[in-house]
Amino acid sequence: MAVSATIPSYGNSTLFRNPINDFKKSPYRAPIFRFKLFSKKIKARHAQNSVFESTDIPLPTFPFEEYMIRKAEQVNKALDEAVVLQPPVKIHKAMRYSLLAGGKRVRPLLCIASCELVGGDESWAMPAACALEMIHTMSLIHDDLPFLDNDERRRSKPASHEVFGESTAILAGDALLSLALEHVAVNIAGVSPDRVVRAIAEMCSAMGVEGLVAGEFVDIASEGKDVSLKELEYIHVHKTAKLLEAAVVCGAVIGGGNAIEVERVRNYARCIGLLFQVVDDILDVTKSSEELGKTAGKDLASGKATYPKLMGIENAKSFAGELLGQAIEELAYFEASKAAPLYFLANYIASRQN
């Protein structure tokens, strides 16, 4: 059953009604490509044990696992070189502890894949890809703190504040945030200055009061309260989706994408950004802490609103399938062989198990 039939309130979603309503001043603004709710059943091919029902959207032939391993290794090498041990040693140890702790490197991969999609080179995108991972790591360090989300584990290891103390963890996050912007400004080569500035502006928007900070603030303020689907969407579009969107858009901007190309990948990113959180919410109530690498069931225990809580598990899975289908539809604008990494990254986000 199409999600529009089971969750009619999502027909009023701001994500679907106007996907670029927050970017009216963007120099890349193109004609609005409005999302539409599908009237047909989504067909997508997912990994075994996907959080939602598997159907069949044919994807282009592409060695995705090999691609992901190779790109992640290159990103990890670049991150290792970007943060070296130097005085004050404890801060740099804390930065490296969280930054190099593992993780799927989804945001850097999205940035690189989007850059290559529009004809750019991986080397152009790598500084921005690293910066986005630094920003993401900062958000995890801060989110885990006792006075925010209060989590003792991250990526199957003790959280930063458990190892280094709260004050050092806060400063390590701050340092990663400032280093991220410096890293882009200093290290991007072969790209025009106006595109570098636009990429930095996209990152700043994603992590500030129009993005991550707003989502985190509203999330904390909403604990224990009745939250509507519209309010939940606001939280997750800002807290989670905005940074994934910035990763994809920065890659396209740095790669030299035109206005329509940038807007298409922005629409794609809006879908996978929200998809990431819907899947995260489902995994939180269906997987163990060992499987997740972080504390399972915390959102439910703390009274936070989640998609399964407001929709039910099956409707949340249907909504995830809807988002995946619409993300893939946006990529149909591009040559399939060039868009293959983004097709598979969307499918990977939908099918992930932790």
Instruction: Give per-residue pLDDT as tens, 204-224.
Output: 999 999 899 999 899 888 888
- What share of the chain in percent tops pLDDT 90? 54
Q: What is the pLDDT of residues 238-288, one digit of tens each?
A: 988 999 999 999 999 999 999 999 999 999 999 999 999 999 888 888 765
Q: DSSP 3-state assignment of 153? A: strand
Omega before 27 cis (within 30°)?
no
Instruction: Specify the residue for token string 């991969």.
Output: 109
pLDDT reading at 44 higher than 60 = no
pLDDT reading at 2 higher than 80 = no
Question: What pTM, to 2 d.p., does this model score?
Answer: 0.81
Bridge partners of 153, per DSSP, are 158
At position 24, the amino acid (one-letter code) is K
Report domain extents, the chain: 64-351
Q: What is the pLDDT of residues 103-131, one digit of tens each?
A: 889 999 999 999 999 999 999 999 999 99
CATH number at 64-351? 1.10.600.10
Bridge partners of 157, per DSSP, are 154
DSSP state of 158: E
Tokens in use for 310?
């407001």
